[in-house]
């Protein structure tokens, strides 16, 4: 009763644990603090250099995201174990990020180049690039540090200051919550993408139909296509999305749902966009000629797969530029070309838009807008975000209400801007929809400045159809009409829609279906 009671240090490990070589080594690190700091910093720098060199846009795929999470967790664990201090939560991420940024210097793209907060688009680029990296790579690193510190204190032969039961319980609860959150994030990242089946008018899946997401090898890079068809025996229609850099998988699935009952409809995430974002690098090989070559290679893949001599080619906006060039290169591969939101000369369109913006600013008394545009001057612009600023005024330059059927179908399908909610994208690919739009645009758009179809494409040796909305920006439509009027082709026809703007093929999806089945196919299809 009278004997003094002494509290035993609960953090003291068993004798056999202290005698292990690893623990003796750690004891040496803990005695010489600078050694522990050096190991922690070295591991963080090493992993930063490794990731920055091998995955400069990490995470660009679900696989890269999982590797990055594991790398961060292990690096953090080693840092926490080596330092035996929560200060590793500062040192490890800072050293890792610094090394990562150095390793990927020179990688082109808005989301990976210099940090900018001078516009909403700059902030968005930061969130999509470095913000995403922070969540996927640095949060696991912080959790790893916490586990490493806890393990170090358990193994340490030095007496640790006692902590209150409440503080200890709170720490354990917080650690468990963070671990559960990390596991949930792993599950969400690994959750595979999918695309709904092709359904008949009764709403039931059509027997023998095709609804797939597939990886194909084009130009020595893995890229993704989506195929929807009620029958593999139908004519093949390849859709080229706009941008450059835009992914339209959900849009094309929703608005071409009826079309897929009569055609094999193929959507393609071009190199550097959406599901194909990881294929952007090396960016110096993503040239205009390579994009056209990829289109031709995909065309030949589809011809062979579906046993067709020719296919139909549909281009929207930038896709119409790509489509015209592909048809010019290899007219023998295509039944016909259909251009929607037809582009003729990006540079001349942008120059006219510049003057339209100044005129709009003067009409509306928008002094700040006029000052901003005059500061930018006439295009082309070295800064891609200037184009984003101009795009923000498209609706004001040509206001209109799209067709009711378009709005109703989009609402029923849960469409959001850029189609990011589509099941066709995994969690990382949803971010890639916007990252691709920014980064692929910044790589490809400067290469389009010398294009002018009025000079370069005066003849196409395939039947050519053009869809034009009356609410299209005059800077685009005037050039398209001028080019189309002088274009030589075996057959050409223009369709104009009073309630449509730029994305005619989606906004007038019902009319487009009728045009294809009632006019284009009877005039051009010669069977497989």
Map out the domains of the chain with their CATH numbers.
Answer: 15-190 (no CATH), 210-343+404-524 (3.40.50.1820)
Q: Is the pLDDT of residue 14 over 90?
A: no
**Paired strand residues for 236:** 264
Q: Are 495 and 515 in contact (CB under 8 A)?
A: yes
Task: Identify the band that residue 466 occupies on the pLDDT scale cut at 50, 70 and 90.
Answer: very high
Quickly list DSSP for 333-378. GEEEEEEES--S-HHHHHHHHHHHHHHHHHHHT-HHHHHHHHHH-S
Helix, strand, or coil (residue 440)? helix
Pairwise CA distance, residues 68 & 74, whole Å = 10
Q: Is the pLDDT of residue 12 over 90?
A: no
Query: How far, rounded to the nearest angstrom, does the alpha carbon of residue 364 sit from its chain's CA centroid?
Result: 36
Pairwise CA distance, residues 483 & 475, whole Å = 13
Q: Is the pLDDT of residue 3 over 70?
A: no
Q: Is the pLDDT of residue 527 over 90?
A: no
Task: Identify the band that residue 20 occupies on the pLDDT scale cut at 50, 70 and 90.
Answer: low
Pairwise CA distance, residues 298 & 180, whole Å = 43
Q: Which residue has the tokens 């189609």?
A: 419
Give the β-pairing of 264-269 and 334-340. Answer: unpaired
Across the beta sheet with 492-497, the strand order is 210-218, 221-229, 264-269, 236-240, 311-316, 334-340, 464-469, 492-497
Q: Is the pLDDT of residue 22 over 70?
A: no
Q: Is the pLDDT of residue 161 over 70?
A: no
| pLDDT given for residue 4 in this prediction | 44
Task: Identify the band that residue 11 occupies on the pLDDT scale cut at 50, 70 and 90.
Answer: very low
DSSP structure class, residue 100? H
Closest-CA residue to 265 (of 294, 227, 299): 227
Neighbours of 212 (CB within 10 A): 12
**Paired strand residues for 337:** 313, 464
For 431-460, b where at least 16 C-beta lie within 10 A, e where not — what string? bbbbbbbbbbbbbbbeebeebebeeebeeb
- Token pair recorded at residue 114: 């210099």
pLDDT in tens, 35-51: 889 989 999 999 999 99
Task: Identify the band that residue 9 occupies on the pLDDT scale cut at 50, 70 and 90.
Answer: very low
| pLDDT given for residue 163 in this prediction | 58
Pairwise CA distance, residues 418 & 28, whole Å = 55
Determine if residue 106 is left, alpha or beta; phi over 0 gives left, psi from -120 to 50 gives alpha, anything else beta. left
Pairwise CA distance, residues 194 & 249, whole Å = 11
Task: Identify the band that residue 155 occupies on the pLDDT scale cut at 50, 70 and 90.
Answer: confident
Q: Are 463 and 492 in contact (CB under 8 A)?
A: yes
Helix (H) or strand (E) holding 491: none
| Cα–Cα distances in angstroms (integers) from residue 521 to residues 64, 302, 526, in the given order | 44, 18, 9
């Amino acid at each position: 009763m009278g004997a003094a009671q002494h509290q035993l240090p609960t953090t003291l490990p068993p004798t056999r644990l202290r005698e292990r070589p690893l623990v003796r080594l750690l004891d040496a690190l803990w005695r010489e603090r600078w050694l522990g700091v050096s190991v922690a910093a070295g591991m963080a720098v090493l992993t930063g250099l490794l990731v920055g060199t091998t995955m400069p846009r990490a995470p660009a795929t679900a696989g890269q995201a999982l590797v990055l999470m594991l790398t961060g967790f292990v690096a953090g664990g080693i840092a926490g174990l080596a330092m035996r201090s929560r200060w590793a939560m500062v040192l490890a991420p800072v050293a890792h990020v610094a090394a990562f940024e150095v390793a990927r210097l020179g990688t082109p793209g808005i989301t990976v180049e210099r940090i900018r907060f001078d516009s909403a688009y700059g902030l968005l680029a930061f969130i999509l690039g470095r913000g995403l990296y922070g969540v996927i790579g640095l949060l696991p690193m912080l959790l790893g540090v916490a586990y490493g510190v806890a393990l170090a204190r358990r193994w340490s032969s030095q007496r640790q200051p006692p902590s209150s039961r409440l503080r200890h319980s709170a720490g354990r609860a917080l650690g468990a919550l963070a671990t559960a959150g990390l596991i949930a994030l792993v599950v969400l990242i690994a959750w595979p993408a999918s695309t709904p089946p092709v359904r008949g008018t009764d709403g039931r899946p059509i027997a023998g139909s095709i609804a797939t997401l597939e990886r194909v090898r084009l130009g020595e890079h893995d890229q993704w296509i989506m195929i929807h068809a009620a029958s593999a025996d139908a004519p093949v229609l390849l859709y080229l999305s706009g941008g450059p850099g835009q992914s339209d998988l959900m849009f094309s699935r929703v608005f071409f749902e009826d079309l897929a009952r009569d055609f094999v409809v193929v959507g393609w995430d071009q190199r550097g966009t959406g599901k194909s974002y990881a294929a952007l690098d090396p960016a110096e090989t993503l040239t205009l000629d390579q994009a056209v070559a990829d289109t031709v290679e995909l065309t030949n893949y589809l011809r062979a797969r579906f046993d067709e001599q020719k296919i139909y080619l549909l281009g929207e906006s930038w896709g119409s530029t790509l489509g015209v060039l592909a048809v010019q290169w290899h007219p023998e591969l295509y039944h016909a070309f259909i251009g929607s939101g037809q582009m003729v000369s990006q540079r001349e369109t942008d120059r006219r838009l510049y003057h339209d913006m100044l005129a709009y600013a003067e009409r509306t008394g928008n002094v700040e807008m006029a000052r901003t545009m005059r500061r930018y001057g006439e295009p082309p612009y070295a800064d891609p975000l200037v184009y984003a600023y101009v795009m923000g005024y498209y609706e004001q330059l040509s206001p209109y209400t799209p067709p009711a059927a378009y709005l109703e179908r989009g609402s029923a399908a849960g469409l959001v801007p850029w189609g990011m909610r589509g099941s066709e994208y995994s969690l990382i690919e949803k971010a890639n929809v916007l990252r691709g739009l920014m980064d692929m645009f910044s790589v490809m758009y400067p290469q389009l400045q010398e294009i002018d179809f009025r000079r370069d494409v005066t003849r196409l040796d395939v039947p050519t159809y053009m869809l034009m909305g009356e609410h299209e920006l005059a800077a685009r439509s005037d050039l398209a009409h001028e080019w189309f009027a002088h274009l030589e082709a075996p057959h050409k026809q223009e369709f104009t829609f009073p309630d449509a703007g730029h994305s005619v093929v989606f906004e007038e999806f019902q009319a487009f279906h009728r045009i294809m089945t009632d006019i284009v196919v009877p005039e051009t299809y010669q069977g497989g």
